[in-house]
């Protein structure tokens, strides 16, 4: 009988810096046994600090420009950087905790037929983040971390990162 | 030593100013990461950005952490069972793009060891009691349970 081996997948884990990043790292046991590439959107001047950090042991870290919805040029630069990463990595799975960078990543992932996962930040206790609302359409697994924000059509509640 | 951090993305002068004035009167040693701030504190040692390793050191050494109501810093404090005072950023003062930190603060208020100040006055009250503040609820460095299972299940499907 042939022994079935679970093939390693290429996982792209994308988020902005700060809380989003902390939450993504907290989720990493769920995908740590695959080939993981972390992408962090951080202001350029701080990028080196993340490259040197011990946060995501074993995983490769790529830093990209940070931008939010008030900075259209920055958003386009970020999207271009992400497209390049997607061409190189060809991920099987894309996971994000937010924000704008993660939304783009989940869209690109869906477009390229990767499995996509959006975990809306625990910071969004009253309503989903703007990127979280938009990401629902593109995420195969769409989660909120607050039970009162769960709906029949998603997002779903499956506990939180604490 | 007290460690003050407002994250690295946006300044939060309302918070820094109160802590600076308090430190002056009470002769307290405060180290701070204050972002690109117009307001430059006089009595606390504030810099724009602290490298993650140094940040971790200061965080561990601090008796109490004071911060904006960001989930990253709150989770960090819970992990170390470090007492933390948080004040939410507000959109009306142009401190953030929306008021999600108000909601975060209200929700995290229920956890032991998280001392929430919704405004400067409440912040002053907690600072007045700083020697009595204790850490409480402890979390592990990684998530567990249902949320990891849900993700693993989709990856392996």
> B76 and chain A: CB distance < 8 Å anywhere?
yes
User: How high is the pLDDT of residue A157?
Assistant: 98
Residue A162 is assigned to a structural domain of this protein: no
CA distance A99 to chain B (A): 12
Nearest to A27 among B76, B97, B143 (CB): B143
Least confidently predicted of A42-46, A120-124, B1-5, B98-102: A42-46
- B115 vs B37 pLDDT, higher one: B115
Chain A residues with CB under 8 Å of B91 CB are: none
pLDDT in tens, A109-137: 999 999 999 999 999 999 999 999 999 99
User: How high is the pLDDT of residue A92?
Assistant: 98
CA distance B63 to chain A (A): 22
CATH architecture, domain B2-156 = 3-Layer(aba) Sandwich (3.40)
N residues, chain B: 157
Between chains, do B142 and A26 touch, taking CB under 8 Å as contact?
A: yes
Q: Is the pLDDT of residue B136 over 80?
A: yes
Per-residue confidence band for A68, with pLDDT thresholds at 50, 70 and 90 = confident
Q: Is the pLDDT of residue A2 over 60?
A: no
CA–CA dist A49, B24 (Å, integer): 32
User: How high is the pLDDT of residue A144?
Assistant: 98
Work out the average pLDDT over B26-41: 93
CA distance B71 to chain A (A): 5
Place of tokens 């940070």: A66
Q: CATH number of the domain that A43 lies in? A: 3.40.50.2000
CA distance A84 to chain B (A): 23
Q: Is the pLDDT of residue A3 over 60?
A: no
CA–CA dist B21, B27 (Å, integer): 10
Is A14:A94 a contact under the CB 8 Å cutoff?
A: yes
Work out the average pLDDT over B5-22: 94
Task: Tell me which chain A residue has its CA closest to the CA of residue B48.
Answer: A46
What is the number of structural domains in chain A? 1
Residue A156 is assigned to a structural domain of this protein: no
Between chains, do A115 and B155 touch, taking CB under 8 Å as contact?
A: yes
Chain A residues with CB under 8 Å of B151 CB are: 27, 30-31, 95, 117, 119, 141
User: How high is the pLDDT of residue B53?
Assistant: 83
User: How high is the pLDDT of residue A122?
Assistant: 95
A148 burial via Cβ count (<10 Å: 0-12, 13-18, 19+): exposed
Above 0.90 for ipTM, yes or no?
Answer: yes
Orientation of helix A19-27 relative to helix B71-80, angle to 10°:
50
User: How high is the pLDDT of residue A49?
Assistant: 73
Work out the average pLDDT over A13-39: 93
pLDDT in tens, B79-134: 999 999 999 999 999 999 889 999 999 989 999 999 999 999 999 999 999 999 99
Mean pLDDT, chain B, whole residue set: 95
Which tokens go with B22? 């308090």
Task: Tell me which chain A residue has its CA closest to the CA of residue B98.
Answer: A129
Between chains, do B9 and A30 touch, taking CB under 8 Å as contact?
A: no
Between chains, do A30 and B97 touch, taking CB under 8 Å as contact?
A: no
Residue A56 lies in domain: 10-151
Chain B residues with CB under 8 Å of A57 CB are: none
Per-residue confidence band for B9, with pLDDT thresholds at 50, 70 and 90 = confident
Residue A41 is assigned to a structural domain of this protein: yes
């Amino acid at each position: 009988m042939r022994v079935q081996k679970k093939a390693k997948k290429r996982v792209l884990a994308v988020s902005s810096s700060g809380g989003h990043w902390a939450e993504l790292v907290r989720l990493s046991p769920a995908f740590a046994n695959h080939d993981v590439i972390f992408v962090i959107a951080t202001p350029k001047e701080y990028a080196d600090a993340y490259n040197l950090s011990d946060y995501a042991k074993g995983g490769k870290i790529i830093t990209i420009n940070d931008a939010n919805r008030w900075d259209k040029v920055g958003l386009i630069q970020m999207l271009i950087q992400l497209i390049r990463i997607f061409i190189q990595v060809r991920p099987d799975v894309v996971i994000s905790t937010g924000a704008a960078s993660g939304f783009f990543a989940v869209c690109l992932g869906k477009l390229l037929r990767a499995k996509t996962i959006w975990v809306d930040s625990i910071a969004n206790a009253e309503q989903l983040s703007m990127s979280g609302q938009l990401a629902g359409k593109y995420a195969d697994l769409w989660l909120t971390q607050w039970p009162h924000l769960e709906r029949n059509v998603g997002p779903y509640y499956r506990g939180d990162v604490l | 030593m007290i460690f003050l951090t407002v994250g690295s993305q946006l300044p939060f002068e309302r918070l820094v100013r109160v802590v600076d004035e308090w430190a002056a009167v009470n002769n307290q040693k405060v180290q701070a990461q204050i972002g690109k701030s117009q307001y430059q504190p006089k009595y606390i040692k504030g810099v724009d950005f602290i490298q993650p390793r140094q940040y971790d050191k200061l965080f561990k050494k601090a008796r109490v952490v004071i911060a904006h109501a960001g989930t990253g810093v709150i989770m960090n404090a819970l992990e170390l069972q470090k007492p933390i005072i948080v004040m939410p950023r507000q959109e009306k003062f142009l401190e953030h793009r929306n008021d999600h930190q108000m909601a975060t603060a209200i929700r995290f208020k229920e956890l032991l060891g998280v001392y929430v100040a919704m405004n400067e006055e409440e912040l002053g009250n907690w600072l007045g009691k700083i020697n009595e503040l204790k850490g409480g609820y402890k979390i592990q460095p990684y998530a567990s349970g249902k949320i990891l299972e849900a993700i693993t299940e989709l990856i392996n499907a």
